[in-house]
Amino acid sequence: MYYCIINPSARSGIGKDIWTGLEYKFISAGLDYNPVFTQGPGHATKLMSQFIESAKDSELPIKVIVLGGDGTLNEAINGITDFEKVIVGFVPLGSSNDFSRDLNYPKEYDDLLERIIDGQVIRTLDIGKLTYGSMTKPISRLCNDAPEKVRYFGVSSGIGFDAAVCEEALASGTKNFLNKIGLGKLTYGIIAIKQLLKADKIPCDIEFDNGRKVHLSHFLFIASMIHHHEGGGFRLAPKANLTDGRFDLCIVGDMKRAKMLLALPFSFFGLHYIFKGVYKYRSSKIHIKTMIPMWVHTDGEVSVKSDDITLECLKQKLRLMT
Protein backbone atom coordinates (compact mmCIF):
# COMPACT_ATOMS: atom_id res chain seq x y z
CA MET A 1 0.00 0.00 0.00
CA TYR A 2 1.21 3.47 -0.93
CA TYR A 3 -0.22 6.41 0.98
CA CYS A 4 -0.16 9.68 -0.96
CA ILE A 5 -0.29 13.25 0.34
CA ILE A 6 -0.94 15.62 -2.56
CA ASN A 7 -0.91 19.41 -2.40
CA PRO A 8 -3.17 20.36 -5.34
CA SER A 9 -2.14 24.02 -5.08
CA ALA A 10 1.59 23.34 -5.47
CA ARG A 11 3.17 25.45 -8.20
CA SER A 12 -0.19 26.93 -9.19
CA GLY A 13 -1.91 23.60 -9.71
CA ILE A 14 0.77 21.49 -11.41
CA GLY A 15 0.47 19.06 -8.48
CA LYS A 16 -2.74 17.66 -9.92
CA ASP A 17 -1.08 16.94 -13.28
CA ILE A 18 1.92 15.18 -11.71
CA TRP A 19 -0.40 13.15 -9.50
CA THR A 20 -2.28 11.95 -12.61
CA GLY A 21 0.99 10.56 -13.97
CA LEU A 22 1.84 8.82 -10.71
CA GLU A 23 -1.65 7.38 -10.39
CA TYR A 24 -1.37 5.88 -13.88
CA LYS A 25 1.87 4.16 -12.84
CA PHE A 26 0.21 2.75 -9.72
CA ILE A 27 -2.64 1.35 -11.80
CA SER A 28 -0.32 -0.05 -14.47
CA ALA A 29 1.80 -1.79 -11.83
CA GLY A 30 -1.24 -3.15 -10.01
CA LEU A 31 -0.27 -1.42 -6.76
CA ASP A 32 -2.67 -0.43 -4.00
CA TYR A 33 -2.68 3.25 -3.15
CA ASN A 34 -4.58 5.70 -0.98
CA PRO A 35 -4.44 9.32 -2.22
CA VAL A 36 -5.59 12.32 -0.19
CA PHE A 37 -5.46 15.97 -1.29
CA THR A 38 -4.47 18.51 1.34
CA GLN A 39 -7.09 21.09 2.23
CA GLY A 40 -4.98 23.79 3.85
CA PRO A 41 -2.13 24.55 6.27
CA GLY A 42 -1.44 21.74 8.74
CA HIS A 43 -3.45 19.10 6.90
CA ALA A 44 -0.40 17.13 5.71
CA THR A 45 0.70 16.70 9.34
CA LYS A 46 -2.67 15.25 10.29
CA LEU A 47 -2.70 12.95 7.27
CA MET A 48 0.73 11.53 8.05
CA SER A 49 -0.29 10.85 11.65
CA GLN A 50 -3.47 9.14 10.47
CA PHE A 51 -1.61 6.96 7.96
CA ILE A 52 0.86 5.80 10.60
CA GLU A 53 -1.92 5.11 13.09
CA SER A 54 -3.89 3.09 10.53
CA ALA A 55 -0.85 0.89 9.91
CA LYS A 56 0.34 0.58 13.51
CA ASP A 57 -0.11 -3.21 13.52
CA SER A 58 1.92 -3.66 10.34
CA GLU A 59 5.42 -5.12 10.73
CA LEU A 60 6.72 -3.42 7.59
CA PRO A 61 7.31 0.33 7.26
CA ILE A 62 4.57 2.15 5.44
CA LYS A 63 5.33 4.06 2.25
CA VAL A 64 4.14 7.65 2.09
CA ILE A 65 4.49 9.77 -1.05
CA VAL A 66 4.43 13.56 -0.67
CA LEU A 67 3.71 15.71 -3.71
CA GLY A 68 4.23 19.39 -2.94
CA GLY A 69 6.77 21.96 -1.88
CA ASP A 70 9.24 22.01 0.99
CA GLY A 71 6.44 23.27 3.24
CA THR A 72 4.21 20.29 2.47
CA LEU A 73 7.11 17.92 3.15
CA ASN A 74 7.85 19.74 6.42
CA GLU A 75 4.25 19.30 7.53
CA ALA A 76 4.37 15.61 6.65
CA ILE A 77 7.62 15.09 8.59
CA ASN A 78 6.00 16.71 11.62
CA GLY A 79 3.26 14.10 11.48
CA ILE A 80 5.72 11.21 11.81
CA THR A 81 5.42 9.66 15.26
CA ASP A 82 7.86 6.82 14.60
CA PHE A 83 10.55 7.31 11.95
CA GLU A 84 11.27 3.57 11.87
CA LYS A 85 7.73 2.95 10.59
CA VAL A 86 7.88 5.23 7.53
CA ILE A 87 9.65 5.41 4.18
CA VAL A 88 9.05 8.71 2.40
CA GLY A 89 8.95 9.51 -1.29
CA PHE A 90 9.03 13.18 -2.23
CA VAL A 91 8.06 14.83 -5.52
CA PRO A 92 9.24 18.47 -5.33
CA LEU A 93 6.63 20.87 -6.68
CA GLY A 94 7.36 24.06 -4.73
CA SER A 95 8.71 27.46 -5.66
CA SER A 96 12.02 26.96 -3.83
CA ASN A 97 12.63 23.16 -3.71
CA ASP A 98 15.68 23.55 -1.46
CA PHE A 99 15.25 20.03 -0.09
CA SER A 100 15.78 18.37 -3.46
CA ARG A 101 18.63 20.60 -4.71
CA ASP A 102 21.34 18.48 -3.09
CA LEU A 103 19.83 15.08 -3.90
CA ASN A 104 20.50 14.72 -7.64
CA TYR A 105 16.88 14.05 -8.45
CA PRO A 106 16.11 12.98 -12.03
CA LYS A 107 15.37 15.95 -14.26
CA GLU A 108 12.25 14.31 -15.63
CA TYR A 109 9.30 13.73 -13.31
CA ASP A 110 8.60 10.44 -15.08
CA ASP A 111 11.99 9.06 -14.00
CA LEU A 112 11.39 10.20 -10.44
CA LEU A 113 8.00 8.52 -10.37
CA GLU A 114 9.58 5.28 -11.60
CA ARG A 115 11.96 5.42 -8.63
CA ILE A 116 8.99 5.83 -6.28
CA ILE A 117 7.22 2.86 -7.81
CA ASP A 118 10.35 0.77 -7.13
CA GLY A 119 9.79 1.61 -3.46
CA GLN A 120 13.32 1.01 -2.14
CA VAL A 121 15.15 3.07 0.49
CA ILE A 122 18.00 4.73 -1.37
CA ARG A 123 19.24 7.15 1.31
CA THR A 124 18.79 8.27 4.90
CA LEU A 125 19.13 11.92 5.85
CA ASP A 126 19.48 14.00 9.00
CA ILE A 127 16.55 15.98 10.29
CA GLY A 128 16.46 18.83 12.78
CA LYS A 129 14.43 19.14 15.95
CA LEU A 130 13.46 22.59 17.24
CA THR A 131 12.16 23.04 20.78
CA TYR A 132 10.69 26.36 21.84
CA GLY A 133 11.69 27.57 25.30
CA SER A 134 9.17 30.37 24.85
CA MET A 135 6.46 31.26 22.37
CA THR A 136 5.02 34.73 22.20
CA LYS A 137 2.42 36.53 20.18
CA PRO A 138 1.83 37.35 17.40
CA ILE A 139 1.55 34.11 15.50
CA SER A 140 2.09 33.96 11.76
CA ARG A 141 -0.64 35.09 9.39
CA LEU A 142 -1.02 31.58 7.99
CA CYS A 143 -0.91 29.70 11.29
CA ASN A 144 -4.42 28.46 12.02
CA ASP A 145 -3.69 26.25 15.03
CA ALA A 146 -1.87 26.77 18.32
CA PRO A 147 1.87 26.31 17.58
CA GLU A 148 3.48 23.08 18.73
CA LYS A 149 6.36 23.33 21.20
CA VAL A 150 8.47 20.92 19.11
CA ARG A 151 8.98 21.15 15.34
CA TYR A 152 11.01 18.95 12.99
CA PHE A 153 12.67 20.18 9.81
CA GLY A 154 14.53 18.66 6.89
CA VAL A 155 16.31 21.62 5.27
CA SER A 156 16.97 24.39 7.77
CA SER A 157 15.68 26.45 10.65
CA GLY A 158 16.35 30.11 11.22
CA ILE A 159 15.65 32.92 13.65
CA GLY A 160 15.62 36.58 12.74
CA PHE A 161 15.85 38.07 9.26
CA ASP A 162 15.54 34.86 7.21
CA ALA A 163 12.45 33.80 9.16
CA ALA A 164 10.90 37.25 8.68
CA VAL A 165 11.41 36.84 4.93
CA CYS A 166 9.68 33.44 5.04
CA GLU A 167 6.78 34.81 7.10
CA GLU A 168 6.11 37.54 4.55
CA ALA A 169 6.56 35.17 1.61
CA LEU A 170 3.94 32.77 2.99
CA ALA A 171 1.25 35.43 2.73
CA SER A 172 2.68 37.25 -0.27
CA GLY A 173 0.67 38.02 -3.38
CA THR A 174 4.02 38.46 -5.10
CA LYS A 175 4.83 34.78 -4.56
CA ASN A 176 1.53 33.65 -6.06
CA PHE A 177 1.99 35.92 -9.08
CA LEU A 178 5.59 34.85 -9.74
CA ASN A 179 4.63 31.18 -9.39
CA LYS A 180 2.03 31.59 -12.12
CA ILE A 181 4.59 32.97 -14.57
CA GLY A 182 7.26 30.44 -13.61
CA LEU A 183 9.47 32.83 -11.62
CA GLY A 184 8.56 31.73 -8.10
CA LYS A 185 12.24 31.41 -7.10
CA LEU A 186 12.54 35.22 -7.27
CA THR A 187 10.05 35.64 -4.43
CA TYR A 188 12.49 35.26 -1.57
CA GLY A 189 15.13 37.48 -3.15
CA ILE A 190 12.69 40.34 -3.65
CA ILE A 191 11.27 40.06 -0.14
CA ALA A 192 14.77 39.62 1.34
CA ILE A 193 15.85 43.03 0.04
CA LYS A 194 12.69 44.61 1.43
CA GLN A 195 13.09 42.98 4.85
CA LEU A 196 16.80 43.77 5.01
CA LEU A 197 16.14 47.49 4.79
CA LYS A 198 13.96 47.40 7.90
CA ALA A 199 15.49 44.52 9.88
CA ASP A 200 16.49 45.08 13.51
CA LYS A 201 19.83 43.80 14.79
CA ILE A 202 19.33 42.41 18.27
CA PRO A 203 21.78 41.02 20.90
CA CYS A 204 21.84 37.26 21.35
CA ASP A 205 23.62 34.46 23.20
CA ILE A 206 24.48 31.12 21.58
CA GLU A 207 25.61 27.91 23.30
CA PHE A 208 27.04 25.00 21.29
CA ASP A 209 27.16 21.26 21.98
CA ASN A 210 30.73 21.44 23.33
CA GLY A 211 29.74 24.03 25.94
CA ARG A 212 31.21 26.96 24.03
CA LYS A 213 29.24 30.18 24.42
CA VAL A 214 29.16 33.14 22.05
CA HIS A 215 27.61 36.54 22.71
CA LEU A 216 26.80 38.85 19.82
CA SER A 217 25.95 42.46 20.56
CA HIS A 218 24.02 42.53 17.28
CA PHE A 219 22.84 39.78 14.97
CA LEU A 220 20.69 39.73 11.88
CA PHE A 221 19.90 36.03 11.69
CA ILE A 222 21.09 32.55 12.64
CA ALA A 223 20.44 29.72 10.19
CA SER A 224 20.87 26.08 11.27
CA MET A 225 21.45 24.27 8.00
CA ILE A 226 21.17 20.58 7.18
CA HIS A 227 21.12 21.12 3.41
CA HIS A 228 23.18 23.60 1.41
CA HIS A 229 20.40 26.00 0.43
CA GLU A 230 17.40 27.79 1.86
CA GLY A 231 15.04 30.51 0.66
CA GLY A 232 14.95 29.41 -2.96
CA GLY A 233 18.65 28.98 -3.65
CA PHE A 234 20.62 30.96 -1.07
CA ARG A 235 23.69 28.72 -0.63
CA LEU A 236 24.21 29.48 3.05
CA ALA A 237 25.99 26.20 3.87
CA PRO A 238 28.12 25.21 0.86
CA LYS A 239 29.92 22.44 2.78
CA ALA A 240 26.93 20.98 4.63
CA ASN A 241 26.82 17.20 5.03
CA LEU A 242 23.28 15.80 5.00
CA THR A 243 24.19 12.71 7.03
CA ASP A 244 26.83 13.73 9.63
CA GLY A 245 24.45 14.62 12.48
CA ARG A 246 25.63 18.24 12.65
CA PHE A 247 24.26 21.59 11.60
CA ASP A 248 26.27 23.97 9.49
CA LEU A 249 25.47 27.31 11.13
CA CYS A 250 25.41 30.57 9.21
CA ILE A 251 25.38 33.54 11.59
CA VAL A 252 25.22 37.13 10.40
CA GLY A 253 26.27 39.57 13.07
CA ASP A 254 26.92 43.30 13.07
CA MET A 255 26.93 44.35 9.41
CA LYS A 256 25.81 47.61 7.91
CA ARG A 257 22.77 47.28 5.65
CA ALA A 258 24.70 48.43 2.59
CA LYS A 259 27.32 45.75 3.19
CA MET A 260 24.63 43.12 3.72
CA LEU A 261 22.99 44.12 0.45
CA LEU A 262 26.35 43.54 -1.20
CA ALA A 263 26.79 40.17 0.53
CA LEU A 264 23.29 38.95 -0.35
CA PRO A 265 23.98 38.04 -4.02
CA PHE A 266 27.26 36.39 -2.98
CA SER A 267 25.24 33.98 -0.83
CA PHE A 268 23.72 32.44 -3.95
CA PHE A 269 27.20 31.09 -4.69
CA GLY A 270 28.21 30.30 -1.10
CA LEU A 271 30.75 33.14 -1.05
CA HIS A 272 29.21 35.27 1.71
CA TYR A 273 31.78 34.16 4.30
CA ILE A 274 34.37 36.47 2.74
CA PHE A 275 32.54 39.34 4.44
CA LYS A 276 33.45 40.35 7.96
CA GLY A 277 30.50 39.78 10.27
CA VAL A 278 29.41 36.49 8.67
CA TYR A 279 30.37 33.49 10.82
CA LYS A 280 30.20 29.72 10.36
CA TYR A 281 30.15 26.98 12.99
CA ARG A 282 29.28 23.29 13.16
CA SER A 283 27.36 21.76 16.03
CA SER A 284 24.93 18.93 16.70
CA LYS A 285 23.00 21.04 19.21
CA ILE A 286 22.64 24.77 19.87
CA HIS A 287 20.71 26.94 22.30
CA ILE A 288 19.83 30.49 21.25
CA LYS A 289 18.51 33.31 23.42
CA THR A 290 17.69 36.72 21.95
CA MET A 291 16.93 40.00 23.68
CA ILE A 292 13.45 40.22 22.15
CA PRO A 293 11.23 37.61 20.47
CA MET A 294 11.90 37.15 16.76
CA TRP A 295 10.32 35.13 13.97
CA VAL A 296 11.45 31.50 13.72
CA HIS A 297 11.09 29.25 10.67
CA THR A 298 11.43 25.53 10.02
CA ASP A 299 11.86 24.76 6.31
CA GLY A 300 10.35 28.14 5.53
CA GLU A 301 7.25 27.48 7.65
CA VAL A 302 6.66 30.17 10.27
CA SER A 303 4.23 29.96 13.16
CA VAL A 304 5.45 32.07 16.07
CA LYS A 305 8.08 34.40 17.53
CA SER A 306 10.47 33.30 20.27
CA ASP A 307 13.44 34.53 22.29
CA ASP A 308 14.55 31.06 23.45
CA ILE A 309 15.03 28.05 21.16
CA THR A 310 17.04 24.82 21.20
CA LEU A 311 17.95 22.94 18.03
CA GLU A 312 19.21 19.35 17.75
CA CYS A 313 20.39 17.50 14.63
CA LEU A 314 19.06 13.92 14.55
CA LYS A 315 21.46 11.80 12.54
CA GLN A 316 20.14 9.85 9.52
CA LYS A 317 16.58 9.75 10.79
CA LEU A 318 14.59 10.21 7.57
CA ARG A 319 14.46 7.29 5.12
CA LEU A 320 13.81 8.24 1.49
CA MET A 321 13.00 6.33 -1.67
CA THR A 322 13.68 9.41 -3.81
**Interatomic CA distance for residues 136 and 123, integer angstroms:** 37
- What per-residue confidence (pLDDT) applies to 198? 74
Long-range contacts of 77-81 (CB under 8 A, 24+ apart): 77/48, 77/127, 77/152, 77/153, 77/154, 77/318, 78/45, 78/48, 78/148, 78/151, 78/152, 79/44, 79/45, 79/46, 79/47, 79/48, 79/49, 79/52, 80/48, 80/52, 80/152, 81/49, 81/52, 81/53
Evaluate if residue 89 carries a pLDDT over 60.
Answer: yes
Evaluate if residue 256 carries a pLDDT over 60.
Answer: yes
Evaluate if residue 88 carries a pLDDT over 90.
Answer: yes
Evaluate if residue 174 carries a pLDDT over 60.
Answer: no
- What integer best gives the mean pLDDT of the chain? 88
Average of pLDDT values for 84-103? 91
Taking only the tens place, the pLDDT of each residue in 306-318 is 999 999 999 999 9
Q: Where are the domains of the chain?
A: 2-120, 128-315
Residues whose CB falls within 8 Å of the CB of residue 103, separated by 6 or more in sequence, listed in order: 123, 320, 322
Average of pLDDT values for 128-138? 91
Closest CA to 307 of 322, 321, 285, 290: 290
- What per-residue confidence (pLDDT) applies to 87? 96
* Of the options 1.10.287.70, 3.40.190.10, 2.60.200.40, 2.60.40.770, the CATH number for the domain spanning 128-315: 2.60.200.40
Structure-model confidence comparison of residues 76 and 257, the more confident one: 76
Average of pLDDT values for 55-68? 88
Which range (24-33, 95-104, 186-195, 252-261) has the least confidence?
186-195
Evaluate if residue 84 carries a pLDDT over 80.
Answer: yes
Taking only the tens place, the pLDDT of each residue in 142-166 is 666 678 899 999 999 999 988 888 7
- What per-residue confidence (pLDDT) applies to 144? 62
* Whether domain 2-120 has CATH 3.40.50.10330: yes
Length of the chain: 322
